[in-house]
Chains A and B, each alone.
Chain A
Amino acid sequence: MAASTWHRLRHDGAARGAAFVLGAVAAAALLAPWLSPFDPTAQPDPVALRLLSPSWAHLFGTDPFSRDVLSRVLHGARVSLGVAAGAMLLSVTLGAALGALAAVVGGWVDAAIGGLVDVLIAMPRLLVVIALVATFGTLSPWWLVALIGGSGWLTTARIVRAEFRDHLQREYVLAARALGATRWRIVWRHLLPAVAPQVAVAAALAFAAVIPLEAALSFVGLGIQPPLPSWGNILLDGTDYLTTAWWLVLAPVAAVSGTVGAALVLADRLRAAIADEEREA
Chain B
Amino acid sequence: MLVFILCAIVPRAEAQNTERAITFNSSQVTLQQFIKQVKDQQGIEFTFDQDVNSLMSKKIAVRKKKTTVADALKWLTADLPLKYKAIDNYIILSMANAGKSTGGKGHISGKVADESGEPLPGATISVADAGVSVTADKDGLFNIPVSAGSYTLEVTFISFQKEVLKNVLVGDDRSASVTIVMKAQPNSLNEVVVTALGIKKRERSLGYASAQLSAKDVSTVPQPNVLNSLSARIAGVNVRSTGSDPGSSVMVTIRGQSSLTKDNQPLYVIDGIPVAPALQNTTAGIDGKQTIDYGSPIGDLSADEIASVTVLKGASAAALYGSRAGYGVILITTKSGAEKKGLGISFNSTTIFDKAYMFPHFQNEYGSGDSPVSDNTISTSAWGQRLNIGTKLVQWNSPVGSDGKQIATDWVSYPNRVKDFFKTGHTITNNIAVSKSGEAGDFRISYANMQNKGIVPNTDIKRNNLNFAGNYNLKKSIRLSTNLAYTNNQSDNRPSAYSESVTSEVYKLTPNININDLRNYWVPGKEGLKQYNPLSSDDNPFLIAYQETNGFNRNRLTGHVQLAIDLLPNLTLTARTGLDYYSTDLNEKRPFSAKRNPTGAYLTENDYFKEQNSDFLLTYKSKIGHDWNYSISAGGNRMDQKVRTVQNYTGTLTLPGIYNLSNAAAGSMIYAESASQKRINSVYGLGEISYKQWAFLNLTARNDWSSTLPAANNSYFYPSASLSLIASDLLGIKWDKLSYLKLRGNISQVGSDTDPYQLYNVVPFDTDWGSVKRASLSYDQKNSQLKPEIATSYETGADVSFFNDRLGASFTWYKTNNKNQIIQVPTTIASGASTKLINAGNIQNSGIELSLNAVPFKGKFTWRTDLNFTRNRNKVVSLTPGITNYLLGSTDGSNVEYLIKEGTQMGDFYTRSWKKVPSGPYAGQPLLNSNGLLQQSTDFEKIGNYNPDFILGINNSFTYGPVTMNVLIDWRKGGSYYSYVAKSLIDDGFLETTLPGRDAAHGGLAWTDGDGVKRNDGMIMPGYVANADGSYSANKTIIAASDYYDSKYWKYYQNDTFSATYVKLKEVSLTYTFDKKIMRHIPFMSNLSLSAVGYNLYTWTAAKMGFDPETTMSLSGLRYQGVGHWTLPGTRSYGFKLSANF
Whether chains A and B associate is no
Which residues of A pack against B, CB within 8 Å? Answer: none
Which residues of B pack against A, CB within 8 Å? Answer: none
